[in-house]
Amino acid sequence: MKLGFLTACLPGLPLSEIVAWAAGHGYEALEVATWPSTGSRDFEASHIDVTAFGKQEAEEVRALFDRHGLEISAFAYYENNLHPDEDRRRAIAEHVRRNVDAAALLGVPYVGTFIGRDPGLSVVENMKVAERVLPPLVEYAGEQGVKIIIENCVMEGWHPDGYPGNLAYSPELWEWMFSLGLYLNYDPSHLIWLGIDPVKALRPYVDRIPHAQAKDAQLDLEARTRYGFFGRTMGRRSPWDIGWWRYRVPGLGDVDWRGVVDTLYEGGFTGVLSVEHEDPVWGGDEARVKLGLEIAHRTLRPLIVG
């Protein structure tokens, strides 16, 4: 197992600076953000432009990582592959394919994305759409030796009423998506606020988890008593402002990291555990984000053998 982080937390820095900083602070891998450079969402980051990526670009990126002794664990393009607008859905699928092409050139084994959801359809209706549109992407990736991995983020902010916007939030749905040839990019932070035990849920599925993310969540059960499970209704600062839980860097929330890492080892996991930094306390500017990454490293590094 190796320790890495997702570059999306540093959207304003060039990849060369992130690689140098990561190597100098004890990280071994990077999950590289590959959103298009549209600026349409504040958390998008584009550290490799996969739309204009050929052999020369691949050689330059490979040399950068080799020079610092790091690896690319996966490409990260987490978008709604069941978007209700057909044109937008096709554009997202095309960008997934461009990610696969670039990953194949670099020898990167995984491309991460979401299943997503059409909020105007039921879960079952969405599953039927997914069974039609996702297998061709899986097949395209497989032909180039790349696996598509799905993060189990709930993406409640994509639904007008805060219901799940990404149909990969429970073990029941993991089993369904495995049947489509997809793999899981396991993140325990999303499970803990859903009332799912992250360790017990992980144990049966490690063989379908080639890559994992490390993000924590801090729960406020008194606030949940006021707002209910679905969170505050009035006065939200954003669609993600639930009010009774928040994301934290590993070690500052309620996830049992010793149990998670031990269970990954017990199940034979040999991939990268990639810190996904979305902590509002250790966010807001580059210096604080980097301090958050250092906190995460101090939490997780002692748990990883080697």
β-bridge pairing 183-186 and 147-151:
parallel
Q: Which residue has the tokens 């990454």?
A: 293
Write the single-letter amino acid at 47: H
- pLDDT at residue 64, as a whole number: 98
- pLDDT at residue 254, as a whole number: 98
Does CATH number 3.50.30.60 belong to domain 2-303?
no
pTM of the entire structure?
Answer: 0.96
Domain ranges (residues) in the chain: 2-303
CA dihedral 50, 71, 171, 253 (to 10 degrees): -110
- pLDDT at residue 44, as a whole number: 72
Going by C-alpha positions, the residue among 27, 53, 73 that lies closest to residue 211 is: 73
pLDDT in tens, 86-96: 999 999 999 99
Q: Give every residue of the chain whose pLDDT is below 70, as ranges.
A: 38-43
pLDDT in tens, 40-65: 444 579 999 999 999 999 999 999 99
